[in-house]
Amino acid sequence: MYIGNSSFFKPCTPYHDKNGRLHMKPPDWGEDIYMWWSTKEHICADGTLRHYKYFNFSVGGKREQYYCRPGEHYPQKFIDLHSMDFCLNFFFFLGSQEALARFAYKPKKTKTKRKNGRPKAFSSEIYDLLEVSGFGTNGSKIVIKYKKYLTKEATVFRFNLLSDENKAVIGDAETLLALSKQAYSLLKSRNSKSIKTSYEECFRDNVLQKTSSLDIPSVERLHEALVAA
């Protein structure tokens, strides 16, 4: 779209350079103003096609391009840079303050009501129980917080939740803490080698490695195997 008037602007004069290429001489006085919009297509990684709108502004052959955000007809950056230029130097184009108000108009964003945080996946009692035992939550998924999980207080709490048979095999909370630290060390070693695993698998493999050599496992022999290594 060409913006201007015939009384102020002089048309460019075509000429050929020494290589025979056709060029347009800039106007002797005044400045040509061109304003137009263009779109560019971009193929996203998921295969969808997105269109981006750009506002182009040219004064005296010097072109500027600005990205139009959704809902913008004239980009805010262009308005901030050239609104006073139009008021002072190009007032013939705007004509009045009412035209400037239309030129600088930007649609207001619609306010949307949002919920105050996501709803809790568990009751407060469950969260308290998980925190004391060294666990945490990621949304509705229970995860291990190792800094809290590998403390003596959290291990004592987990030891008291075991059955009587498991307590007899492990013996005390200190043995359970040692087994937990060994499983965590095995987990870090496997992760450094890009071996797909989990903490539960590392804990089970560590216990099986200690007790696999027992022919006739009993509570006493299992306890001795876990404590010995």
Per-residue pLDDT of 101-149, as tens digits, reads 555 555 566 676 666 666 777 788 888 888 888 888 887 888 899 899 9
**pTM of the predicted model, to two decimals?**
0.47
Residue 12 and residue 97 share a domain: yes
Residue 164 tokens read as 């009587």
Q: What is the pLDDT of residue 184?
A: 92
Q: Could you give the CA distance from residue 70 to residue 53 in angstroms, rounded to a whole number?
A: 9
Which structural domain, as residue segments, surrounds residue 98? 2-103
* Of the candidate ranges 17-26, 180-189, 200-209, the one whose mean pLDDT is the lowest: 17-26
> Last residue of some domain: 71, 103, 135?
103
Sign of CA dihedral 16, 22, 23, 24: positive
What the block records as the tokens of 162 is 């075991």
Kindly state whether residue 56 falls inside one of the protein's structural domains: yes
**Same-domain pairing of 37 and 94:** yes
Report yes or no: 75 and 67 within 8 Å, Cβ to Cβ. Answer: yes
Say yes or no to pLDDT of 196 above 80: yes
Q: Which of 219, 193, 190 is nearest to 206 (CA)?
A: 190
What is the arithmetic mean of pLDDT over 202-220? 79
